[in-house]
Amino acid sequence: MSNDLTTTQPNDGWNDAAKDAESRILRGTLLKFGDGRWSRGKEGEPVKDGTKLVATSTACGWVKWKDGKPAEYRMRQPGQDLPERDELGDLDEGDWETGPDGVTLRDPWQLTRFLHLVDPFTVESFTFSTSSIGGRNAVIDLADQIARMRCAHPGAVPVVELGTAPMTTRYGRKTRPFFKVVGWKATDGEIDAPAPRQIEDARVGAIDANRYAEVKGRASKPAILGDLDDAIPF
């Protein structure tokens, strides 16, 4: 006879409320990156570099700003492309508000990426929201790593350290956010390391992970004629 106490979720309303929270674009505490440092919340409480969080999901969309606050969201739907900027309206720059510098007119629609994270110990949730090129690239780079890991472990999510990385801009050398993957989690527990797997590559083909390391090591050496076709593009 089955034990209902261990197989049935309690009907106390918390699971339904949690589903409502999952539908939000902004979840938990807002995580920010600016002036080369991480902070959290409206008060801008400093967050130490190296803080470890689990990156659980991401989203992308256009956010319309009005009077310094988000007024409307146009999120990308699964499997679909984002609408083009021209489709959103508000094209008359004479109606635009000034940006943070108080002088330059700012497009009210900002392309924005959202990264949802959870503290692995307290399970406090965070949302990193970014419309900067450096921030968006940091999320895309992380997504690329996740996609490759999921070739071997579908559903794997990374444990990341909050850090910084250098970035060259038209204003000189700046810093951008960086998510260093320090571990992986899956529904069945921890993933100690990438297991030997078949890595699909358009030019090299399917190769064993050990062979991949060998090829990548050779590609890092000065290229000579004959080695160029073996380069790994990531």
Query: How does strand 52-66 pair with strand 157-169?
Result: antiparallel
Q: What is the pLDDT of residue 188?
A: 65
Q: What is the pLDDT of residue 9?
A: 65
CA 149 to chain centre: 15
Residue-wise pLDDT for 42-101, tens only, equals 899 999 889 999 999 999 999 999 998 899 999 998 888 999 999 999 999 999 998 877
**CB environment 203-230: b (16+ within 10 A), e (fewer):** ebeebeeeebeebeeeeeeeeeeeeeee
Residue-wise pLDDT for 156-208, tens only, equals 999 999 999 988 777 778 899 999 999 999 866 677 655 444 334 433 343 34
Lowest mean pLDDT among 21-25, 107-111, 122-126: 21-25
pTM of the entire predicted model = 0.73
Q: What is the pLDDT of residue 126?
A: 97
As a whole number of angstroms, the distance between CA 102 and CA 104 comes to: 6
What value does the mean pLDDT of the chain take?
79
As a whole number of angstroms, the distance between CA 152 and CA 114 comes to: 25
If pLDDT is split at 50, 70 and 90, which confidence band does 113 have?
very high
Backbone phi, then psi, for 205, in 5-degree steps?
A: 90, -170
Query: How does strand 29-34 pair with strand 125-130?
Result: parallel
| Percentage of residues of the chain with pLDDT beyond 90 | 53
